[in-house]
Amino acid sequence: MFTPTEMCKVRVIAMRDDAAQVIKSLHEWGIMHVEDCSASDISHGKPLESYESISEQLVRIRGIEASLTQQKNVRTIKALPLPQLLQECKKIDCDKRIAELQAKTEEINRRKHDISEKLKLAETLSGFSIDFSQLTASSSRVKFLLGSVPEGKIIALREKLSPLGAEFLVKTHAGKTIALIAVESTADISEALNISGFSEIEMPKFEGKPRGVADKLKREDAAQGVELKEIKRELGKISEKYYERVAQLREMLEIEEQRAEISAKFGATDSLYIVEGWVDSRKLEKFTDYFNRLLTGSVLVKKIPYQEGTAPTLFQNPKAVLPFQSLIAFLTTPKSNEIDPTMVYYLMFPILYGMMLGDVGYGLISMVIAWLIIKKMPGLLADIGKIWMFAAIPTIIFGVIYDEYLGFTHSHLLEAAQNMHLINLESMHLSLPLYHGLHRMTDVNSVLLIILFTGMAYLAIGFFLGFLANWKHNKAHAFAKLAWIGIEVAGVLLVGGFLFNGFPSAWMPYAGALGLISFIYMAKVEGIIGIIELPGFAGNILSFARMLAVGIASVAVAEGVINKMLVPDPALLAKGDIGSILIFILVTLGFIITHLFNTVLGMFESIVQGSRLNYVEVFSKFYKGGGRFFTPFSVSRTYTSNHLKEGGS
């Protein structure tokens, strides 16, 4: 729980003739993280001979599946042996017809695009009762220009071109002015057209008047649509017939491809294959026994030495901790020989978060927001939602301690409820206040002191974990971590005693001695690096003061802004007029929205600051990260079943 699973590196030596059986067993069992063979005097293997034929069929089957419509309720079948699988793939003969239908679809879509462009032009020119094909074939003495003119400039264009004998035919379509100009071919009218903003339209090549052409094009487009529907219908029938089988074959081929190419990681001789990788040490005996039973007398499984910290990391955390594990892994994975910080994060982050957000109302709102995120968002975002959900509980608890309920005190809310005749405190034998909370706006020093002591305690936990992490490797460095705790305790006693008279003066000599001895030992072991880090250690403690700043900012907005400017007044409803009711509704909406925004802002600030304090200030005392995940060579099935049970039986 506090450390990753202990791994062992194993080497499996088997006959080349048994390679397929060994690979299949490893794949189905899925407990070995396979790596490249480390033996320097042995060459690497190659993909199995079946790899090429598998890949060829897989590319074809994937292409077919991508062209089919996905079907529901695909049945699960027993996986086929490779020879039978390849034969079954060859029986899937719908790819030629699918290719024909796809080519036909592309051609129809190209035609529809051409029709669409022509139709757009024909509709633009539908106001002209002219066969434009006749104009293009007219006398070479006259040239025709077709184009759009900005609104209000057509008159000026007429005035400029009329002296040149130009004739105009003007129509309007969809707010645009379309002009057809006839002028002598020798006339130079380019300058006048440019000044007027004339945008030339290519003279249409279709025969007939635009309105009739448009009607014809619409009929052609509809006919093309009918063809597309027929193609879609046929593809649907092909999908109904073949999709299930194709999906099953594709999955089996993918599994066989993984098996065929994994052998490239093996060491190989003329007669042997050598497989190396990592296995959970708790499963090693079972792993060895299985292969001895599978290949009696022709396989050797043995542990091999490895450099500490090079094993892949396999977490072993309870289910409740998994969202925190996801965030740890997202940032940096612990090495296999490090303390896994997930449990520390799980225990401490919600406390830091709750101390910052610390409002009963905001805790309840954040719980609802977190629930929505969990329901709607996938992956890491859902895990963050679960972290927010869990952290909402200490937020509510600290809200009670701080006496903060959407920025109000409990006395304010109960008085308001009594004034609205919702409760009767006297009949309930209650008098206000029910308790005195630790209000962050007025008890700043007390809250800051609590936060700093929390930070120091957490740093001490970090150093103690550093002691445990170093104990196996370097006992001197391990005790140096404890020396940092001595420096911390001595510093607290000395500062608290001399500056604030918080501790008895009789303690001071002992505190000084503890600090001096701890400093000397730390400096001796860690050298100049440790001495340089001493001011940074004070900074580590003071970094926790940011928690107070985050909390006060949230309280200031809630109490000093929202609750003074946007509190709904029930008296407005009592007036009964529409204006008062509307004002009440708007103020209520403003109150809800601003508190919601302040909650979301506080949630983000608290998770960022809480995570930063964990990673930067505490985890650095015992944790470096930079590990890699344990990813066993394992099979994933959706449409096929495994006929080998765990352990190969």
Confidence at residue 2, expressed as pLDDT on a 0 to 100 scale: 79
| More confident call, 154 vs 103 | 103
Residue 151 lies in a domain: yes
Count how many domains the chain has. Answer: 2
Residue 603 lies in a domain: no
CA atoms within 13 A on the CB side of 151: 5
Q: What is the DSSP string of 105-168?
A: HHHHHHHHHHHHHHHHHHHHTTT----HHHHHTS-TTEEEEEEEE-TT-HHHHHHHHGGGT-EE
Residue 233 lies in a domain: no
pLDDT tens digits along 248-298:
999 999 999 999 999 999 998 888 889 999 999 999 999 998 888 887 778
Residue 251 lies in a domain: yes
What is the rounded distance in angstroms from the CA atom of residue 43 to the CA atom of residue 62? 33
Residue 61 lies in a domain: yes
Confidence at residue 230, expressed as pLDDT on a 0 to 100 scale: 95
DSSP 335: P
The lowest-confidence range among 128-137, 183-192, 481-490 is: 128-137
CATH of the domain at 151: 3.30.70.2750
pLDDT tens digits along 603-642:
999 999 999 999 888 998 888 888 999 999 999 999 998 7
Distances (CA, A) of 80 to 60, 251, 461, 551: 18, 11, 55, 62
The pTM for the full model equals 0.75
Residue 515 lies in a domain: no
Distances (CA, A) of 527 to 21, 523, 530, 534, 623: 57, 5, 6, 11, 20
Are 15 and 70 within one domain? yes
Are 136 and 177 within one domain? yes
Residue 249 lies in a domain: yes
Are 181 and 249 within one domain? no
What is the rounded distance in angstroms from the CA atom of residue 92 to the CA atom of residue 242? 8
Picking from 249, 271, 303, the residue at the C-terminal end of a domain is: 303
**How much is the average pLDDT of 78-87?**
93
- % of the chain exceeding 70 in pLDDT: 98
Confidence at residue 1, expressed as pLDDT on a 0 to 100 scale: 64
User: Environment class of residue 76 by beta-carbon count within 10 Å: exposed (0-12), middle (13-18) or buried (19+)?
Assistant: exposed
Confidence at residue 133, expressed as pLDDT on a 0 to 100 scale: 79
**How much is the average pLDDT of 7-20?**
90
Picking from 161, 188, 208, the residue at the C-terminal end of a domain is: 208
pLDDT tens digits along 526-584:
889 888 888 888 888 888 988 999 999 999 999 888 888 887 777 776 677 788 888 88
Picking from 303, 333, 351, the residue at the C-terminal end of a domain is: 303
- Is 248 in contact with 639 (CB distance < 8 Å)? yes
Whether 645 shows a pLDDT value over 60: the answer reads no
Are 138 and 63 within one domain? no
Which runs of consecutive H residues, i.e. helices, occur in 30-70?
A: 51-67
User: Which structure tokens are listed for 124?
Assistant: 């633009």
Residue closest to 281 by CA, chosen among 6, 522, 37, 59: 6
Residue 421 lies in a domain: no
Confidence at residue 643, expressed as pLDDT on a 0 to 100 scale: 58
What is the rounded distance in angstroms from the CA atom of residue 558 to the CA atom of residue 54? 65
Domain interval for residue 252: 7-92+238-303
Confidence at residue 139, expressed as pLDDT on a 0 to 100 scale: 61
Are 79 and 11 within one domain? yes
Q: Cα 352 from chain centroid?
A: 24
User: Which structure tokens are listed for 479?
Assistant: 């005790």
Are 173 and 243 within one domain? no
Whether 646 shows a pLDDT value over 70: the answer reads no
What is the rounded distance in angstroms from the CA atom of residue 349 to the CA atom of residue 323? 12
- Is 176 in contact with 201 (CB distance < 8 Å)? no
